[in-house]
């Protein structure tokens, strides 16, 4: 009976997702018929106004155009990029070591369903900006040094810089440098999924959101494998409300996953781990899901090195401007801000948006916006999350409100579909998230306020 109920739920969820995907695709097309002509008409009008006001030099270049370099093309970087699109006042250079972006919150499912990669990754958007495929090796206060994919090295000078290089988990959760194309990244997921399929004992080190979701995917797709989660803290996903914690832990208990909590790790390798109590846990496959590392090495090698914290995060002020700098901003996981937010894609996007708006305001001589006050309208950003427990279950949270079960999984699927569309520059994604962010901030200020931060 339980098996039949699961098959029924799985079939219903698949049907709903397929129907919703079809409808959203057509809606995106219809919105685009209206959106794109209006967007280009506005750009042409703005372009003509700028040309009439400033004039052009003999090479056709607007002497007042500011050069903005964005390093990093994921949530923070692409969010910043979208604020500059079709604005002739800025020449934007987007630098990344990959020619695609990947919807990071969804990639853990690829360990079991690698065929879904094409729905989670897209080529970087093309537009009026300049794209550079390469790795920034040195970040200075007026230029960056780029090792291009072809082997050449060049300096790129700027009027403004937005650092959005993020932070990495261990490979393969984070792409390796050689996985610069969609083809190479897809091949990696195929290999990793084969390893998971072959292993019988799987050990997940780390009980945060990443470790929890990875273990849940494996437990769902391979219920007969031995899955163990080890973490030094007494509970899984400890940064989220207690109702989420309880639901997640109860789900794992029902799935037969072993939870080794409150046990500090002493050593680990590719086939086992040893806890401080001396317990050895053998495995065929080990995933290390802790130790987030900021991608700040280029800053450490430049003249902004003294702006790094002890954790190698770039220190910024309330405007997301790098401390004691004139034109360098940082957004997303690479930076540290007095709000001490958890590392989430949602916050990285808001960081990128505000950093870009402050570049625009700075170029016009206007006062800078504060984070998060001037983007959320409050002293604290809302807590928004979904913890996936396989494709058909999960825990959805908005500040202190928690919804557990199938609805959480459906919401995460909708977020994933529309967010990929937004990052790709498609009109429906922009429309959904423009409206969604406004509603989220309104509710967080009025009806569903976040819990006060504990110092």
Given a cut of 90, is residue 84 above it in pLDDT? yes
Q: How far is residue 33 from each of residues 183, 427, 430, 438, measured CA to CA in Å? A: 31, 9, 14, 24
Q: How far is residue 102 from each of residues 11, 251, 276, 454, measured CA to CA in Å? A: 27, 28, 37, 33
What is residue 188's predicted lDDT score, i.e. its pLDDT?
97
Q: Which two tokens stand for residue 116?
A: 């879904």
Walk me through the domains of the chain, giving residue ranges and CATH numbers: 66-169+292-380 (3.50.50.60), 187-288 (3.50.50.60)
pTM of the predicted model, to two decimals?
Answer: 0.87
Write the pLDDT tens digit of every residue in 312-356: 999 999 999 999 999 999 999 999 998 878 889 999 999 999 999
Do 72 and 165 meet the contact criterion of CB atoms below 8 Å apart? yes
Do 153 and 147 meet the contact criterion of CB atoms below 8 Å apart? yes
Given a cut of 50, is residue 56 above it in pLDDT? no
Task: List, in sequence order, every residue forming a beta bridge with 229; answer none if it has no partner.
Answer: 204, 259
363: number of CA atoms within 13 Å, CB side? Answer: 22
What is residue 128's predicted lDDT score, i.e. its pLDDT?
83
What is the percentage of the chain residues whose pLDDT exceeds 90? 75
Beta strands in 350-443 (DSSP E): 384-388, 394-398, 401-404
What is the percentage of the chain residues whose pLDDT exceeds 70? 85
Task: Indicate the SS3 state at residue 311.
Answer: coil
Task: Indicate the SS3 state at residue 100.
Answer: strand
Q: Average pLDDT in the 207-235 region?
A: 97
Given a cut of 50, is residue 53 above it in pLDDT? no
Do 219 and 255 meet the contact criterion of CB atoms below 8 Å apart? yes
Task: List, in sequence order, every residue forming a beta bridge with 273; answer none if it has no partner.
Answer: 268, 281
pLDDT band with cut points at 50, 70 and 90 for residue 197? very high
136: number of CA atoms within 13 Å, CB side? Answer: 31
Which of 45-49, 165-169, 295-299, 426-430 has the largest mean confidence? 295-299
In sequence order, what are the residues at sequence separation of 6 or more whose Cβ sits closer than 8 angstroms to the Cβ of residue 26?
none
Distance CA 49, CA 39 (A): 16
pLDDT band with cut points at 50, 70 and 90 for residue 127? confident
Distance CA 124, CA 111 (A): 23
Write the pLDDT tens digit of every residue in 235-260: 999 999 999 999 999 999 999 999 99
Q: Average pLDDT in the 262-281 region?
A: 96
pLDDT band with cut points at 50, 70 and 90 for residue 411? very high
Torsion of the alpha carbons at 359, 362, 363 and 366, rounded to the nearest 10: 130
> What is the chain's mean pLDDT, rounded?
89
Look-up: residue for tokens 């990285």? 348
Given a cut of 90, is residue 425 above it in pLDDT? no
Distance CA 173, CA 389 (A): 17
DSSP 3-state percent helix, strand, coil across the chain (nearest 5): 40, 25, 35
Do 148 and 132 meet the contact criterion of CB atoms below 8 Å apart? yes
* DSSP letter assigned to residue 161: E
Given a cut of 60, is residue 399 above it in pLDDT? yes
For the ranges 43-52, 113-122, 123-132, 406-415, which has the lowest average pLDDT?
A: 43-52
Task: List, in sequence order, every residue forming a beta bridge with 227; answer none if it has no partner.
Answer: 202
Given a cut of 70, is residue 66 above it in pLDDT? yes
- List phi, psi (to 5°) of 260: -105, 90
What is residue 38's predicted lDDT score, i.e. its pLDDT?
57
pLDDT band with cut points at 50, 70 and 90 for residue 17? low
Q: Average pLDDT in the 273-284 region?
A: 96
What is residue 291's predicted lDDT score, i.e. its pLDDT?
82
Looking at the chain, how many residues does it have? 455
What is residue 11's predicted lDDT score, i.e. its pLDDT?
60
Q: What angle, rounded to 10 degrees, do the helices at 242-255 and 209-221 form?
A: 30
Do 292 and 260 meet the contact criterion of CB atoms below 8 Å apart? no
Q: Average pLDDT in the 84-105 region?
A: 93
* DSSP letter assigned to residue 281: E
User: Of 390, 344, 299, which Cα lies nearest the Cα of 108?
Assistant: 390
Task: Indicate the SS3 state at residue 237.
Answer: coil
């Amino acid at each position: 009976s339980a098996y039949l109920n699961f098959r029924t739920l799985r079939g219903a969820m698949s049907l709903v997702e397929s129907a919703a995907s079809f409808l959203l695709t057509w809606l995106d097309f219809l919105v685009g018929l209206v959106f794109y002509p209006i967007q280009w008409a506005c750009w042409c009008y703005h372009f003509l106004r700028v040309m009439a006001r400033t004039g052009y030099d003999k090479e056709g270049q607007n002497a007042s155009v500011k050069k903005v370099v964005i390093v990093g093309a994921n949530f923070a970087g692409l969010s910043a990029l979208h604020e500059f699109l079709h604005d002739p006042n800025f020449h934007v250079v987007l630098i990344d070591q990959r020619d695609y972006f990947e919807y990071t919150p969804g990639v853990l499912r690829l360990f079991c369903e690698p065929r879904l990669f094409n729905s989670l990754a897209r080529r970087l958007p093309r537009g009026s900006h300049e794209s550079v495929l390469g790795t920034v090796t040195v970040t200075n206060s007026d230029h960056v040094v780029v090792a291009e994919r072809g082997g050449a090295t060049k300096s790129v000078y700027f009027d403004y810089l937005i650092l959005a290089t993020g932070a990495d988990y261990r490979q393969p959760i984070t792409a390796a440098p050689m996985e610069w194309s969609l083809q190479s990244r897809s091949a990696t997921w195929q290999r990793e999924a084969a390893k998971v399929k072959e292993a019988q004992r799987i050990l997940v080190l780390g009980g945060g959101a990443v470790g929890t979701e990875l273990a849940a995917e494996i437990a769902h797709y391979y219920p007969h494998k031995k899955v163990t989660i080890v973490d030094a803290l007494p509970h899984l996903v400890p940064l989220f409300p207690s109702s989420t914690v309880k639901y997640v832990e109860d789900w794992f208990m029902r799935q037969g996953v072993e939870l080794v909590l409150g046990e500090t790790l002493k050593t680990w390798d590719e086939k086992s781990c040893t806890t401080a109590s001396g317990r050895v846990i053998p495995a065929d496959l080990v995933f290390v899901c802790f130790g987030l590392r900021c991608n700040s090495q280029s800053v450490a090698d430049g003249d902004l090195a003294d702006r790094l914290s002890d954790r190698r995060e770039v220190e910024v002020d309330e405007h997301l401007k790098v401390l004691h700098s004139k034109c360098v901003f940082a957004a997303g996981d690479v930076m540290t801000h007095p709000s001490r937010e958890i590392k989430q894609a949602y916050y990285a996007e808001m960081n990128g948006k505000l950093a870009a708006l402050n570049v625009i305001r700075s170029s016009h001589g206007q006062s800078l916006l504060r984070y998060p006050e001037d983007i959320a309208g409050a002293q604290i950003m809302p807590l928004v999350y979904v913890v996936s427990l396989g494709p058909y279950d999960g825990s959805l949270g908005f500040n202190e409100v928690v919804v557990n079960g199938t609805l959480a999984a459906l919401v995460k699927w909708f977020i994933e579909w529309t967010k990929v569309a937004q990052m790709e520059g498609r009109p429906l994604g922009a429309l959904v998230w423009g409206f969604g962010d406004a509603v989220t901030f309104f509710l967080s200020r009025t009806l569903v306020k976040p819990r006060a931060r504990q110092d």
